[in-house]
Amino acid sequence: MADFMSKDERSRMMSRIKSVNTKPERELRHYLWKQGFRYRINVKKLPGTPDIVLPKYKTVIFVNGCFWHGHDCKDYRLPKTNSAFWEQKVIANRNRDEESSRKLSSLGWNVITVWECELKTRVFEATAARVVSEIAGDKSTI
């Protein structure tokens, strides 16, 4: 199946996709703030520049896009055009994610990964509750 956009149109569209402050990130941050959690965002001094950093809990959260990080869900599909490039890109992203998580864990950080598909409206509350329990551990107070 051929792409319905020209190469230039596709390139222009893909270049506009943000890597920070995405809608799923903002929604999760808003939820955490309302729950009383205070955090920093995109801390460049930490491996992988985590999306959300909760220093008090020594926890970092990565909010990964299903397409860009190759999540095994219905939202990820390898493009039919230039598929070798995209496959290598996704593999490199996954390898970088694993290395960042390994480094953060070795520094004593709790690493939480949340997928874009887990923040869709129908499952948001369950995902957010899971994240809160992973941050706070068994402690019910913040």
Does residue 9 lie in a domain region?
Answer: no
Q: Which helix (H) or strand (E) holds 16?
A: none
Does residue 109 lie in a domain region?
Answer: yes
* Domain membership of residue 39 as a residue range: 18-136
Sequence letter at residue 100: S
pLDDT band per the 50, 70, 90 thresholds, residue 136: confident
pLDDT band per the 50, 70, 90 thresholds, residue 17: low
Query: Which pLDDT does position 35 carry in this prediction?
Result: 95
| Segment among 18-22, 93-97, 118-122 with least mean pLDDT | 18-22
Does residue 142 lie in a domain region?
Answer: no
Sequential DSSP letters for 106-136? HTT-EEEEEEGGGGSGGGHHHHHHHHHHHHH
Does residue 67 lie in a domain region?
Answer: yes
36: left (phi over 0), alpha (psi -120 to 50) or beta: left
Does residue 4 lie in a domain region?
Answer: no
pLDDT band per the 50, 70, 90 thresholds, residue 36: very high
E strand residue ranges, the chain: 40-41, 52-54, 59-64, 110-115
User: Has residue 40 got a pLDDT over 90?
Assistant: yes
Q: Which CATH number goes with the domain that contains 29?
A: 3.40.960.10
Q: Provide the domain count of the chain.
A: 1
Predicted TM-score (pTM) of this structure: 0.83
Does residue 7 lie in a domain region?
Answer: no
Query: Which pLDDT does position 4 carry in this prediction?
Result: 63
Does residue 8 lie in a domain region?
Answer: no
Over residues 84-104, the pLDDT tens digits come to 998 999 999 999 999 999 999
Q: Classify 56 as helix, strand or coil.
A: helix
CA distance linking residue 56 with residue 61, whole number of Å: 13
